[in-house]
Structure 1
Amino acid sequence: MNEKYVVIDLETTGHSPVNPDKIIEVGIIIIENNEISGEFSTYLNPDRPIPPFITNLTGISDQDVYEAPVFQDKAAEISALFDNSYLVAHNVPFDLGFLNGELAATGFSELHNPVLDTVELARILFPQAPGFKLEQLADYLNIVHDEPHRALTDAHMTAKLFLKLMKKLRSLPYETITHLLNLETGLKSDLYALLYEQQQSLAFANDKHENMDNYRGLAVKKTAEDNPEKQHTEISFGHFLDAIYEADGTMEKHMFQYEKRPGQREMSETVFDAFQSKNHALIEAETGTGKSLAYLLPAVYEAITANKKVVISTYTTQLQSQLLDEEIPFIRKLVSFPFKVALLKGKQHYISLEKFERALASEQTDNYDITLTKAMILVWLTETETGDIDEIQLPSSGYLFYRQISTDTERTIDPSSPWFSRSFYQKARRKAQQADILITNHALLCTDMFNDFQLLPSYDKAIIDEAHHLEETASKHYGLTLHYVYVQNLLNLIGEANDGEWLGELLNVLQGNHDTGAFSGIEWNDVFSKTKNEVDDLFRTLFQYVVEQKQKSKSLSDIGRIQYRFDENMEDPAQWTVIQEMVTRLTFYLRDLIHLLSSFKQQFVKANHTDHYDLEDLTTHMEALQSIIDRLEKLFLMDDDSVKWIELEAYGAKNAVYLYSEPTDISTMLANDFFSQKESIILTSATLSIRNSFSFSQTRLGLPSENLITAKINSPFPYQEQVQLMIPDDFPDVRYGNSDDFIHATCEAIISLAQITDGRMLVLFTSYDMLRKAYYLLRETIDINKYMLIAQGISSGSRSRLKKNFQMFDQSILLGTSSFWEGVDIPGQDLSCLVIVKLPFQPPDHPVYEAKSNQFKHEGKNAFFEMALPNAVIRFKQGFGRLIRSSSDRGIVFVCDARIMKAKYGKFFTDSIPPVPITHDSTQRILEKAEEWF
């Protein structure tokens, strides 16, 4: 690896090489003998103005390049630096594209050096990095980064990154290098020579990787079993808490600037009391309580003293990570006895080594994303303790590949198989069995609940955090979902008899050894083709049907889809009969496919083809096809009490159709299948009560009154001094068709508030449609050179990526809907203003709301007060909670919807949040007060 590597970074006037954009700065670093041996940099005059955005980003102005040379003056010198070298860059296509464009335009030969892309190499060699931008990798790998977005500085950074990448490459075991060599042709970087050299050096090396388990050509990190000695404690719970919470306790010793929070101890005692009295509990712990620590302490104490497992369930993986990485290590410092903690997720989260090994051996041609995914997983397996795919960020279509190699796709492994002892999922189950505290998620908790408690180890006590999501998760697990892409992906995975997909490959294997006998490839192709056509026809017909039914009100849900609830007894009989006939026809075709696969399986057995993988795949595909039949029949051919609805991608293909079914009421099922089966379930969240009453949460979750404890733990934060709630009294009334006027008024207020708060603003919408309109209006009217405007669903990236971008820029405005109302933590000065555009009532035509509403009316109840209002208040509390995340935060909550003051039910909202000063006045006076307050 002692080659010459030339690292390049360019600053340019934009993203399009040669025309219209030009290079304005070049930074080059030369690496020889694994050390930096030289550098080169120069400004270049682009012969055109530098856009303000680029000047803001790079600090390079027109004045800096005014007397700089043009590219032609430096072309020969730059080109010569690359003689007999690798070209290295962080995103090679960008830098090489610009460089070759300029060389060609000035009459020089383009560069054809072997290339190494540090973005690609970082994804492969550091798959657990939180992101792959240069700044993120520098932070992750502790590389000093002085002046980001300057060519020579970035080239230095890339060079240091490259040296770390090469060091990592040299640390990999022989088996991993060998697999990477096989994948090399599908990658963008020219890695063959480097990998081959490393493979040869390892082939003759004596020092083998002793911390690796090598089986069937896969190198996987060995993991040690965690077995601390069980230790009984005789200390009473009161003394246990005294030793932690009180003056000179362990909390004070281990926490910098510890402030005693009475609510935290109160919550610990409430949880313990519920456990001891075998009661269930609803505990609302407001922001700042420190609820995770408050419930973990009694959970650990109970698990050790009673020698019984306590389960903790969260809704988000983010909270699971926080518990495992921050809270549990801190508690180990606070308590004097050892305890075991395990995390268990659903099978789909864990990689199947057996399936992955088969995928590596397959001769199918992979696209780039799958090749990259395989390379990332190979390196990750040398590092991971868990085999949980959530540890790494795969490329988009890499997740489709991963689904085929997750443990969820395995049939039951024989415990005597070498794969069984190596299975990450089985290891996780063993750890879960031995654990005192078992952390899981609501999805697996509900799956376990509805499968007679067969998945999780036995438990009597559980703490459910983020409990306001339990009803929704349970409903989804009692319901079903089916969509066009899933059906077509499954069919494409099976393939025709002669297209080289799974079935075609299998036929080749069988024909190579035996006669395929009764199985006819021609018959299969005929039925397969008819099935695919029928799927297309059905989903297109459903799309058209929904469009026709919703023509009058094409309202979008907050996920940007059109939703339509259907009830076979209420649909247009002529059209609905056609749809049901199409469904029946499709189920017949799917049954024919299952029958053909069954005869194919028998033929395999007759031919003594004993490869259990092939038989396993056959069974898996037959079961998947049967599952589609079952779901179609339940959705369209059976009459039951569930809510059924269709969602369309409003701007998607004409068959982008999603089908759903959920029970209208989950409370009875939860009461019978969960709360009556367990000794003590603690449900906690920051948003469970409405006007200090828990009756809504209790009713919807099916909690029995006779053995229920409720507690509200108030926030220790001084909200009276930290928050101003401001509501304008001169906005257009959004209820009476003035949505455009209302959006204009909202955008004007956002712009005015942004000037007062320097951006740092989160704007929460209840509909994606309104967010989109506001975004485009703001983009036209706001100074985009001053404010960074970020919008969910429009700006690219996940929720956490948008949040990070928001925090990276000093003056940014983030527009969010749905998922941004909760779980987004932006502490300190990054967030000074929260705008709530409308009170978060669900649209009355939302399918589940509509069905439940009808049920309430049927029971003689008021659907608005029983469901719509409580749901909106809980959601409002979640949104309100985004602003104050610490005792030093300050900010404004600006609510554009005057119903919070004018409507009779407005008090439900204001009485359900901490008491704060409220201003209800003209927009002008509110803005003046806001400026004065800040």
Structure 2
Amino acid sequence: MDSLTSAFSPEGPLATAIPGFHVRSQQVEMAARIAAAIREQKVFIAEAGTGTGKTFAYLVPALASGGKVIISTGTKTLQDQLFNKDLPLVRHALKAPVQVALLKGRANYVCHYYLRRAVEEGRFHSREEVSHLAKIQRFFKITRTGDKGECGDVPESSPVWHAVTSTRDNCLGQECPDHKDCFVMAARREAMEADLVVVNHHLFFADVMLREESMAELLPACNTVIFDEAHQLPEVATLFFGDNVSTSQVIDLVRDTQVEGLASARDCLDLQNCLPGLEKAAKDLRLAVGIDSGRFSAQQLEEKPGFKAALEQVRQSLEGVAAILKTQAQRSEGLEKCWQRAIELAQRFTAWGEGGGDGVVRWGEAFTHALQLNATPLSVADIFQKQMGGHPRAWIFTSATLAVQGRFDHYQAELGLWQAETGFWESPFDYGRQAILYVPQAMPEPNSYGYTDAVVEAALPVLAACGGGAFFLCTSLRAMRRTHELLQQFVEDHARQSGERLPLFLQGESGKNELLERFRAAGNGILVGSQSFWEGVDVRGEALSLVVIDKLPFAPPDDPVLSARIEEMNRAGRNAFVEYQLPRAVINVKQGAGRLIRTEADRGVLMICDPRLITKPYGKRVWRSLPPMKRTRELAVVLDFFRSPSPCTN
């Protein structure tokens, strides 16, 4: 404790080495609890409000622990920030002789084999994609890591990346001619040798479940696992502890088989002739669901005309292609891999069609050009506990949003963490002076016709008062589009009347990071977003002084997984709404609200338009879980707040 206290003291190494470092009692307490959990190999859950400095609170004890540490983040963006910014800062300040490594999933690294193949094939025809390939080639010649995140002049959304990286399905493994030079293998070797490894939740769970990649080797040697943004874990774990198969995997197999066949089995005409039939079967299965995207239960899918026949056709076509590939597999490593993939895909489509067993819900998600079939466990608690068993180690779960009114029951139930110790630290910000929670009066019921129009109408005077710098966080894409349409009119009218232009941004019109950069640079912009912008977004200062939430973010009850969970809980005599739906909505509201105040100098208004916050008994559980902002239902109070000088500058 003494060494921790000195590390965080006003004269300590952090304050000396890091400009702007402030000593916060919450941060020191949290670091001490984490250090104790690491030392005693305990399970510890910690909520740390915005501004607590939770990253340093876990990095200092992690670097000082003397054992091997895995830190897992919710997103690759945070993973890069942690590894490239926060970790070097703290390591340098503490002069910690700790070897660190960054590890991502294989699709993040340029593949020697597939890059060479893409160049040889000349498969790209648009000028932009040819340019992207040339830039990747130049990057490939100078990179040490092969991490595509370091190749900034090719957007992550470029289809070229798909062609020059490998997947678990198409990686040739030890049979690859470039195996010794492989960037993925190099990253794993570095991770094995490092004292501290930074991964992300998707990689952690994919590897834990597959038992064939990096975590299978890393975990046994690891003394501590720290999950940052741990509120995302139940959803990520559910995704990976289930099974899924998609038509896009079939299309990828067709394309890879065509290329491998032309390279190594050009004389096998049967192979090239059977592939169009498999591609058509995959596309027909997607079409059998209808034109709309969305989620459907297995029953809804199986009631659609032609769905069962289309599913059977995919399975038969895969078996037919597999039979031909078997005769050619010995001619190249690539063809052998395609044969194995065809067999595995046929088995997975068959398994989905035959049912998932007890405690599993089958469902499908239709995208614009693909259909993914899922078999998802209704609870991941037992499976997660099993993964945590075995070698004794510390498990730390931390986020700004894990508790409901200071209690962790919901989170502990989702992951089976009943024996965990818990800690709760509120934000050090002075919310009473810095922020107002505004719930407008006379709002219609959230499911009524024209509700989105009423939300925007109620928000316009507030928006005019703050002069832009606003987020509109919507609970559906339809509401997002309608909100943007209405605000477009407001922005045009405002420009005519005042001569001031308020830039309007919409989620999806460009990449998330680019959109945020433009919003920050504008200083008075209005950003309309849905799920993507409720969390993991940091905008400081006057660029963001108003956050509008249209509705309490309850998951749609017709979602197949949620519907099955509700049914199972109610059948067991439990109250699914109180135990499951409400806590998840509270955590989501806390995430959205957390966008508003990011520093001691920020000020602003959180406007939640949903009248249920006031009219329903459960509304109290929501607003009592939010930071202690001043609360009002009077528009005049909000307008006065924006007119008055910032108390933070006095």
Aligned residues: 633
How is 1:434-833 mapped onto 2 (pairs within 5 angstroms)?
A: 434-452=193-211, 453-456=215-218, 458-495=221-258, 501-508=259-266, 516=267, 519=268, 521=269, 523-524=270-271, 526-543=273-290, 561-567=293-299, 572=303, 578-602=306-330, 604=331, 615-640=332-357, 641-649=359-367, 652=368, 656-675=370-389, 677-705=391-419, 708-735=420-447, 738-740=448-450, 742-783=451-492, 785=495, 786-793=501-508, 796-833=509-546
Cα–Cα, structure 1 residues 676 and 859, in superposed 2: closer, same or farther, change >3 Å?
A: farther
* 599 and 438 in structure 1: CA distance in 2 versus 1, 3 angstrom threshold: same
Structure label with greater radius of gyration: 1
What is the CA–CA distance in structure 1 between the aligned matches of 2:5 and 2:273, rounded to whole Å? 75
The residue number in structure 2 matching 1:913 is 626
Distance 1:894 1:395 in 2: 35
SS of equivalent residue, structure 1 residue 542: coil
Give me the whole-angstrom Cα distance separating, in 2, the residues matched to 1:626 and 1:837. Answer: 47
Superposed counterparts of 1:109-120, under 5 Å: none
- Aligned mates of 1:257, 1:359 — CA distance in 2: 48
**Residue matched to 1:287:** 50
Q: Note the alpha carbon deviations across 1:542-573, whole angstroms, 9 max, x for none.
A: 227xx6xxxxxxxxxxxxx43222248x954x
Structure 2 CA distance for aligned equivalents of residues 369 and 630 of structure 1:
38
Q: Give the 3-state SS of the residue equivalent to 1:780 in structure 2.
A: helix
How far is the alpha carbon of 1:884 from its aligned partner?
Answer: 0.5
Which secondary structure does the structure 2 equivalent of 1:734 belong to? coil
Q: CA RMSD in A?
A: 2.5
Q: Quote the residue 2:172 is aligned against.
A: 411
C-alpha separation in 1, matches of 2:157 and 2:510: 15
More displaced stretch, 884-893 vs 617-626: 617-626
What CA distance in whole angstroms lies between the structure 2 residues aligned with 1:564 and 1:429? 38
Letter in 1 for 2:362: K
Q: Does 1:842 align with 2:555?
A: yes
Give the drift of 1:362. Answer: 4.1
- Kept after mapping to 1: 8 A contact 2:231/2:399: yes
* Maintained 8 Å contact 2:118/2:163: no
- Distance across 2 between alignment mates of 1:868 and 1:811: 35
- Range with bigger deviation, 340-349 or 861-870: 340-349
Normalised by the size of structure 1, how large is the TM-score? 0.64
CA distance in 2, matches of 1:726, 1:933: 19
Question: In the aligned structure 1, how far is the partner of 2:316 from the partner of 2:560?
Answer: 29
- Quote the offset at 1:401 in angstroms: 5.0
Alpha-carbon separation, structure 2, partners of 1:625 and 1:836? 46
**Distance (whole Å) between structure 2 residues aligned to residue 676 and residue 300 of structure 1:** 24
Greater mean alpha carbon deviation, residues 439-448 or residues 667-676:
667-676
Residue 101 (structure 2) pairs with residue 342 (structure 1): yes
Gaps of 5+ in 1: 1-237, 496-500, 509-515, 548-560, 605-614
Q: Residues 421 and 592 of structure 1: is their aligned pair in 2 closer, same or farther, counting only changes over 3 Å? A: closer
Contact 1:351 1:407 in 2 (8 A): no
Q: 2:286 aligns to what SS in structure 1?
A: helix
Say if 2:138 is the partner of 1:426: no
Q: Aligned letter for 1:634?
A: A
Question: Cα offset for 1:365?
Answer: 6.5
Residue 4 of structure 1 aligns with which residue?
none
| Percent of matched pairs sharing the same residue | 29
**Structure 1 residues 189-239: Cα deviation after superposition (integer angstroms, max 9, x where no partner):** xxxxxxxxxxxxxxxxxxxxxxxxxxxxxxxxxxxxxxxxxxxxxxxxx23
TM-superposed CA distance for 1:492, in Å, is 3.5
| CA pair 331-490 structure 1, distance change in 2 beyond 3 A | same
Separation (CA, whole Å) in 1 of partners of 2:366 and 2:204: 30
1:642-694 Cα shifts (integer Å, max 9, x gaps):
22223335xx5xx6534333211111100112256542100000001101101
User: Are the aligned partners of 1:407 and 1:425 in contact in 2 as well (CA < 8 Å)?
Assistant: no
TM-score normalised by structure 2 residue count: 0.91
Paired with 1:845 and 1:769, the residues of 2 have a C-alpha distance of 16
Name the aligned partner's letter for residue 503 of structure 1.
Answer: G
What is the aligned partner in structure 2 of residue 189 from structure 1?
none
Q: Paired residue for 1:890, among 596, 603, 620?
A: 603
Asked if residue 245 in structure 1 is aligned to residue 8 in structure 2, the reply is yes
CA distance in structure 2 between the aligned counterparts of 1:849 and 1:264, rounded to whole angstroms: 36
Shift of 1:422: 2.6
Structure 1 residue identity aligned to 2:462: L
Q: What is the aligned partner in structure 2 of residue 873 from structure 1?
A: 586
Q: Is the Cα contact below 8 Å between 2:329 and 2:339 reproduced in 1? A: no
Letter in 1 for 2:216: Q
- 2:14/2:90 contact within 8 Å kept: no
Higher RCO, Cα 8 Å, sep 6+ = 2
1:246–1:656 distance in 2 versus 1, CA, 3 Å: closer
Q: Which residue of 2 aligns with 1:326?
A: 85
Match of 1:124 in 2: none
Offset, 1:356? 2.4
Q: Secondary structure at the match of 1:893?
A: strand
- Whole-angstrom distance in 1 between the partners of 2:96 and 2:247: 53
- The residue type paired with residue 589 of structure 1 is S
Report what 2:498 is aligned to.
none
Deviation string, structure 1 residues 50-74 (Cα, Å, up to 9, x no partner): xxxxxxxxxxxxxxxxxxxxxxxxx
Correspondences of 1:78-97 after superposition (within 5 Å): none
The corresponding residue for 1:164 is none
For residues 471 and 745 of structure 1, what CA distance do their matches in structure 2 show? 34
Aligned counterparts of 2:628 and 2:511: Cα–Cα separation in 1: 34
> Could you tell me how far 1:493 is from its partner in structure 2?
3.9
Deviation at 1:420, TM superposition (A): 4.0
Going from structure 1 to structure 2, the CA distance change for 1:348 and 1:455 (only over 3 Å counts) comes to: farther
**Aligned with 2:91: secondary structure?**
helix
Alpha-carbon distance in structure 1 between the residues aligned to 2:622 and 2:262: 61
- Where do 4+ consecutive residues of structure 1 move more than 6 Å? none
**Matching residue of 1:379:** 138
TM-superposed deviation, 1:875:
0.3
Task: Tell me by how many angstroms 1:257 deviates.
Answer: 4.4
User: How far 1:638 moved relative to its partner?
Assistant: 2.6
Matches for 1:171-210 after TM superposition, within 5 Å: none
Query: Are 1:268 and 2:31 counterparts?
Result: yes
SS of the residue aligned with 1:835? strand
Amino acid at match of 1:599: T
Q: What is the deviation of 1:926?
A: 4.7
1:531 touches 1:586 (CA, 8 Å); kept in 2? yes
Q: In 2, distance between residues paired with 1:370 and 1:744?
A: 41
AA in 2 matched with 1:783? E
Q: Distance in 1 between matches of 2:164 and 2:299?
A: 35
